């Protein structure tokens, strides 16, 4: 819808429409805050700091979580290649198209992600039984699609690749999140996610700067080639996960679920 809005209304009008929606969300958040003002907040800053410290300790000391976190770090580094500024530059420089086509590319990826969610739901039992294989194949396929996307100069093929990336991303992500959750006790899951989220957000912030410099100095195509290489690193980490934890309870716990 955004792609068609940009083509029919223009970038400026679409921008102000998006800004209005953002302000509407802010107003709703303020209203929610006023409704929950009297709700007791049990956690203080010191407790949150301890939660993060314990979460980082679990991530580092648990071999399975350490490998999964390394996979997520490589994925976070590569994930910034899909930020709006880079994809817009790719649409203009590599494909010779404008903002409207950039919107269609984003919409295609979103459509592929929704289809991927349906596919992951249909294949849920198979994914649970083959978590590591699903992660490895997902990373390898996503890497291949990313490299082809970066070398491509046909606009219609870019849309097809964006659609295909959606299901691959969903299946890989579902398998990886399940493997993470099966590798840690339920009572420690909140601490792990808190530490994991801070780490990945920091890595993504740094990667945005790095890939911005790469796009500026080497060209936007190199951004996707390097991103594809980082996804291969994640695939290698998933293979290491299989070797290091042959007798780890991931497989057993998954079968019993």
Does pLDDT of 124 surpass 60? yes
Helices (H), 80-154: 84-93, 99-122, 124-129, 131-151
**Contact, 95 vs 153, CB < 8 A?**
yes
**Contact, 152 vs 132, CB < 8 A?**
no
Does pLDDT of 144 surpass 90? yes
> pLDDT for 173-210, tens place per residue?
888 888 888 888 888 888 888 888 888 888 888 888 88
Segment 144-169 mean pLDDT:
91
> pLDDT for 44-82, tens place per residue?
444 466 766 787 788 888 888 888 888 888 888 887 788
Long-range contacts from 184-187, C-beta under 8 angstroms, 24+ separation? 184/58, 184/62, 184/65
Locate tokens 């690749």: which residue?
161
| Model pLDDT, residue 47 | 47
Query: In percent, how much of the chain has pLDDT > 90?
Result: 14
Alpha carbon distances (Å) from 174 to 51, 90, 182 = 25, 28, 12
Does pLDDT of 251 surpass 80? no
Alpha carbon distances (Å) from 226 to 39, 82, 222, 239 = 47, 13, 6, 20
| Model pLDDT, residue 127 | 86
> pLDDT for 2-55, tens place per residue?
667 777 888 788 889 889 999 999 898 888 877 766 655 555 444 466 766 787
- What average pLDDT does the structure give for the chain? 82
pTM attached to this predicted model: 0.74
């Amino acid at each position: 819808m955004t792609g068609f809005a940009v083509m029919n209304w223009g970038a400026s009008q679409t921008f102000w429409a998006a800004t209005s929606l953002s302000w509407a969300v802010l107003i709703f958040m303020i209203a929610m805050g006023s409704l929950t003002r009297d709700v007791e907040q049990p956690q203080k800053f010191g407790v949150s700091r301890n939660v993060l410290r314990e979460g980082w300790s679990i991530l580092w000391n648990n071999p399975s979580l350490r490998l999964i976190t390394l996979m997520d770090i490589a994925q976070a580094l590569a994930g910034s290649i899909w930020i709006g500024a880079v994809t817009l530059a790719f649409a203009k420089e590599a494909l010779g198209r404008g903002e409207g086509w950039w919107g269609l590319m984003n919409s295609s990826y979103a459509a592929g992600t929704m289809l991927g969610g349906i596919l992951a739901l249909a294949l849920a039992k198979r994914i649970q039984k083959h978590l590591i294989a699903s992660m490895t194949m997902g990373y390898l396929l996503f890497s291949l699609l990313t490299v082809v996307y970066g070398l491509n100069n046909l606009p219609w093929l870019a849309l097809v690749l964006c659609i295909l990336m959606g299901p691959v991303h969903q299946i890989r992500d579902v398998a990886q999140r399940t493997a993470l959750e099966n590798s840690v006790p339920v009572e420690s899951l909140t601490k792990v996610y808190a530490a994991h989220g801070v780490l990945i957000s920091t890595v993504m912030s740094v990667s945005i700067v790095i890939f911005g410099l790469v796009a500026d100095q080497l060209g936007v195509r190199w951004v996707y080639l390097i991103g594809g290489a980082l996804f291969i690193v994640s695939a290698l980490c998933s293979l290491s996960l299989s070797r290091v934890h042959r007798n780890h309870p991931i497989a057993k716990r998954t079968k019993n679920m």
